Amino acid sequence: MIKTALKFSFIIIFLSCCKKDDNSDIINNQKQDDPITQTPYVLSLPQHFVYIDPPQIPVDNPLTVEGIALGKKLFFEKKLSKNNVLSCASCHKPEDAFNDKGLALSIGVDGTPGLRNAMPLFNLAFNKTFPDHGSFNWHGAKLTIEQQAFGPVTDKLEMVETWPNVVSKLQNDPAYPPLFEKAFNTPIVDSNLVVKAIAQFERTLISGNSKADNEIKKRNGIAYTGQALNAQEKRGYELFIGEGKGDCMHCHGIFPNPLWTDFEFRNNGLDANPDSGLAQVTKRASDVGKFKTPSLRNLVFTDPYMHDGRFQTLEEVVDFYASGIQSSPTIDPTMLKNRNLTPAEKVDLIAFLKAITDSTFVTNPAFRE
Ligand code: HEC
Ligand code: HEC
């Protein structure tokens, strides 16, 4: 099924590239009867990911070995920024689950802090889509992974570059035209192709190997290597799902969902006068203070926490949920209950959160420069 879809999308790409009669230079640079040489790439998913909807791969940007290789090189490419000082990977470091651990707000090319905490990048192809706003960034500003990748390059607090400059820098680097040719059948660098390649690489960032993942496999009779949850972590999980206790699962998922979020945008009660959040996009008063519910996977690599990096530790996060909730008109109703967590229960809950750590993800050589 997936293979058929891929083949079909190659046909579409082939047709659309040959229809580019508005750009005769491109046509002249290619032999019209060039065979399509890209190698389809099928995502290798952990077995327990069968319990969720399949990854969404756009028909006009199928995964190919050549596209992913180009996207990886571009992800680590500092020429995407002013003065060639930052790459995507400067703020999304593979060793920190593609996050900038330790920074509350990311630092841009000019040394100025941005507005938000950088988001870790994994399992992006599984993000939910919404009819009236985007799926990406804390406030749902970006519709697709491709569209998202345009943003950081020109952002005045991030890479501070222009797309024409990026295109010309890449075009004049002898390494790139052959790679674009391999990936997209044209040596002409184009911003749309840059973001397509980067998005292909980003969709390969699958994280699904932790003690909590092993527990899902164990409970479903799927073979696993390494350990599943120990007694303390299991107690933590019971608090996580317990409606009278932590009750985290309404937003951050429940076995066998291996994503640890449902991706909905919510106000979890951080502030009495919250930041606009999703309302910045939808312009609805009812969306003020709503932010994307983040995954709880790989938290040991992504501190500090929340959209503004206000909490340094998981202890601070759990204390907030236990006794720091601030009410406001758009607060999610499940935040208003009293989460009576004893000191021992807090320790158990944190042990469970740490058990959703995928160490193989942050050391995977396929994701390193
Ligand atoms: C200066 C640091 C910085 C750089 C450089 C940077 N990012 Fe980000 N990234 C962030 C921050 C901060 C956010 C959250 C932004 C927001 O919500 O407004 C983010 C969010 C994202 C997201 C959204 C993830 C989600 O789950 O919604 C993606 C995808 C992403 N960045 C990819 C990229 C790519 C691709 C590049 C290079 C073209 C890049 N970033 C460059 C800091 C950076
Ligand atoms: C009503 C939905 C909801 C519930 C219930 C909920 N959360 Fe959250 N959680 C969110 C949202 C939304 C955010 C992001 C908030 C922001 O930054 O503005 C978040 C953020 C977090 C973060 C920060 C992650 C990061 O990458 O910065 C952690 C950790 C966390 N929650 C753990 C928990 C735990 C533990 C529980 C149960 C005690 C819980 N959450 C209950 C919605 C919820």
Q: How many angstroms is it from 239 CA to the middle of ligand 1? A: 32
182 lines ligand 1 (CB under 6 A): no
Rounded CA-CA distance 55/123 in Å is: 8
**How buried is 207 (Cβ within 10 angstroms: 0-12 exposed, 13-18 middle, 19+ buried)?**
buried
Distances, alpha carbon 335 to alpha carbons 199, 299, 340, in Å: 35, 21, 12
What residues have CB less than 8 Å from 343, skipping those under 6 apart?
none
Q: What is the torsion angle, in degrees rounded to the nearest 10, for the CA atoms of residue 339, residue 342, residue 347 and residue 351?
A: -50
Nearest protein Cα to ligand 1, atom 26 = 136
Q: How far is the CA of 118 from the centre of ligand 1 (A)?
A: 6
Binding site membership of 350 for ligand 1 (Cβ less than 6 Å): no
Residue type, 334: T
Nearest CA to ligand 1 atom 37: 88
pLDDT tens digits, one per residue of 235-258: 999 999 999 899 999 999 988 999
358: nearest Cα among 206, 205, 210: 210
- Between the CA of 195 and the centroid of ligand 1 the distance, in Å, is 13
Residue among 121, 144, 150, 162 to mutate when testing ligand 1 (max atoms within 8 A of CB): 121
Spacing, Cα 104 to ligand 2 middle (Å): 16
136 C-alpha to center of ligand 1: Å?
9
What is the per-residue pLDDT for 254? Answer: 84
* Residue with CA at minimum distance from ligand 1 atom 11: 118
Average pLDDT value for residue range 321-327: 96
The whole-number pLDDT of residue 255 equals 85
Confidence tier at 18 by pLDDT (50, 70, 90): very low
Check residue 25 and give its pLDDT.
Answer: 35
Residue 340's pLDDT band (boundaries 50, 70, 90)?
confident
Q: Between these two residues, 287 and 24, which has the higher pLDDT value?
A: 287
Q: Each residue of 42-80: pLDDT tens digit?
A: 999 999 999 999 999 999 999 999 999 999 999 999 999
Q: What is the mean pLDDT of residues 357-363?
A: 98
Asked if residue 24 has pLDDT above 70, the reply is no
Q: Is the pLDDT of residue 177 over 50?
A: yes
Q: Is 86 in the pocket of ligand 1 (CB under 6 A)?
A: yes
How far is the centre of ligand 1, averaged over its atoms, from the C-alpha of 176 (Å)?
A: 23
With 90 as the cut, is the pLDDT of residue 22 above it? no
Which ligand is closest in space to the CA of residue 122? 1
121 C-alpha to ligand 1 centroid (Å): 8
Q: Tally the C-alpha atoms within 13 A of residue 216's C-alpha that lie toward its C-beta.
A: 22
The CB of 268 under 6 Å from ligand 2? The reply is yes
Q: Distance (Å, rounded) from C-alpha 185 to C-alpha 35? A: 9
pLDDT digits (tens, 9 = 90+) for 90-109: 999 999 999 999 999 999 99
Calculate Rg over the CA atoms of the chain.
22
- Choose the weakest-confidence range: 1-10, 27-36, 157-166: 1-10
198 lines ligand 1 (CB under 6 A): yes
What's the CA gap between 68 and 87, in Å, rounded?
Answer: 17
Amino acid at 249: M
pLDDT digit string, tens, across residues 126-142: 999 999 999 999 999 99
| Percent of the chain with pLDDT strictly greater than 70 | 90
Q: How far is Cα 109 from Cα 113, in angstroms, rounded to an integer?
A: 9
Scored b (16 or more CB within 10 A) or e, 31-62 reads eeeeeeebeebeeebbebbeeeeebebeeebb
Ligand nearest to the CA of 145: 1
What atom of ligand 2 comes closest to residue 247's alpha carbon? Answer: 37
Ligand 2 contacts CB of residue 332 (under 6 A)? yes
**Among 152, 153, 136, which Cα is nearest to 56's?**
136
Q: Quickly state the pLDDT bin for 148 (edges 50, 70, 90).
A: very high
Both tokens of residue 109?
């090319």
Tell me if 356 CB under 6 Å of ligand 2.
no
Mean pLDDT (whole number) for 8-26:
35
Q: With the C-alpha atoms ordered 165, 171, 174, 176, is the resulting torsion angle positive or negative?
A: positive
> Which token pair is 274?
């919250």
Place of tokens 């060793």: 95
* For the CA of 117, the nearest atom of ligand 2: 27
Q: Which ligand is nearest to the CA of 116?
A: 1
Ligand 1 centroid distance, CA of 85 (Å): 16
Confidence tier at 34 by pLDDT (50, 70, 90): low
Closest-approaching ligand to the CA atom of 200: 1
